[in-house]
A and B are shown apart, each in its own frame.
Chain A
Amino acid sequence: MKSSELPPLASVPFRGLGAFLWTEVLVQAHENLAMATSMIVQGVLLVFVVILAPGLIGIALVGAILFSMFAMGQRVLNEAAYIRIDHKANDLYLAGPLSPEAYFLGISLGILVVYLTPVVLLGVITAVVVPLSVEVAALLVGLAAVVWLFAASIGYVFSTFFRDNRAIWAYASLFFNVFGVLPPVFYPFARFPPALQPIALMMPPSAAAAIVQHALGATALTGAELALALGSLAVETVGAFLFAIFWARRSVRGD
């Protein structure tokens, strides 16, 4: 085909998303071991809860679902940095018609599609152990999606700052475990030090957990606390997502 015969192509937002998502699904699906080990932290914490405080298993299961979605952000960070630093895949894909936002979302959604299976299994166990109404189940699914979007967005943005994979492993693990395990995600919000509770309500994983615990009747949030949790989740998630889109476009070209 002669170059002059090619049709003019405009830059289209999200162009190539479906195909690149499928690429990432294929890549991730070949790593069965990683999928199987994606539940280790949650599994260990659930075992601790069963032994130490079996009455809290329902809350812990809900927390495990939310944490699993948050931890996918760590996978986005690791994967985006790895294929950029080790494979130069960003150069290969972004010096072409694939849109930068499709590249970011393709990685994120590809990981979500593959790693959702163990989360769904966790959801089935939760539904058996905890009597969830349809409304609360829908709330949990919605909040899990919001937590994932937030985590994937910040994971992608952070991935662009590193030049060495070794540094990423340490920081990513620290960041996602501190923000996903330490605050009241796996345990009742009321047991978190009162002075620090507003901070927990401003952090997406613990804000989502507190809202679900409130809906389950396991935690009583005041109207102001509920507003803070919902408002923080909305503002931070929308802000993180829009910034990630902006940053995906901006970071195609280095300085």
Chain B
Amino acid sequence: MLRTFRLFLIASFVAATFGVPATPAGAAGDTILFGSSVSLTGSLAKEGKLTQEGYDFWKDYINQHGGLKVGGKSYKVDIKYYDDESKPASAQQLAERLIDQDHVNFILGPYGSGTAFTVAQMVERKKMPMVEGNGAAEKIFSQGFRYTFGVLSPAKKYLQGVLDMAAKRKPRPVTVAISAASDAFSLEVQQGVVDYAQTLGFKVVYSNKYPDTTTDVSSVVSAIKATNPDIILNAGHLQDALLIHKGLKEQNVQAKIYAYSVGPDTPDFVNSLGKDANFVYGGAQWSEAVKYQGQAGFYKSAMDYANAFDAVYHHRPDYHNAESTAACLAFQYALQKAGTLDSEKVRDALQSLDIVTFYGIIKFDSRGLNVFKPMVVNQIQHGKLVTVWPEFTANGKPMYPAPPWAQR
């Protein structure tokens, strides 16, 4: 029995480090080759696909508009992908393979903080600039890495907008419950909520975590129910957001506000939950309602971007798509500014980048993190995503409080 168990562990390990190439190689003299490991299978497959769409949309735009001009020469752009199976260890190995064997010029980040963290370690070792749009944990940016840049607002801010919005509601909610998956990103979101809730005068009545591979959250839901909170928050990913929201209905947990760090923005959330998805809030890096005026070289407004994207992929872009495209844009403008493909000079150009795009401000602090862009809060109303916060960019008002489950 013990021997078999050991073999089982070995097999699991082999499985964990197994990587499958997703696209054939292709680099040439007139092409700038980007490399990226994205999660095309595994628990983050959906988000990984959204990431890839965001990258490909930019690539096709550039190639259809005469390529990317760097130092007076026009380059085509291409992206080589591998599937990291949602596993941080695989993502790191694949990053090494992209740099050493595929000789990519630059790295575009994977999906998720766990994978982005291991890839960041690799690009640091290889002195290879990476811009990533999908790993918001500050853990990635507090290691003194010089070659990793993130275009997103940090994890701590994900649900703070929901609290800001909640503080302005009448009658004002008082108590907050937050559950979190036990991964780096979700724990930082949770910490951000706990700290910020207290400064706004909310009382945190429940704060706990659950394993990020969980298949049953009913005990988490029971514990939340026992504290009878006004605001129920979850820091996690699509799969657990769905499990928890279903669980809240099954145990008839009634709150005024339900919000999830990741989930409500993907169409799958509404498709899976139907009417139960209504009134749910989500923190978002971007929505097509944001009103930024971008500079020349790409779609200037969020709405133009969204319409063009929809025409290609037949669905509205969510913030995962947009932040991935934004990572490409950081490279685009930094390369033009540097006027060379030299990795050290491109790194410096990224560090001093200060631009506005359809996605918002892209500007990095000394750690490489884009702390200058605010988050938005979306709410699902009648099955549609409406941006309700901050008020200056909102295209709808929050529907508050959430009615009993039967009336949603």
Q: Do the two chains belong together in a single complex? A: no
Chain A interface residues (CB < 8 Å from chain B): none
Chain B interface residues (CB < 8 Å from chain A): none
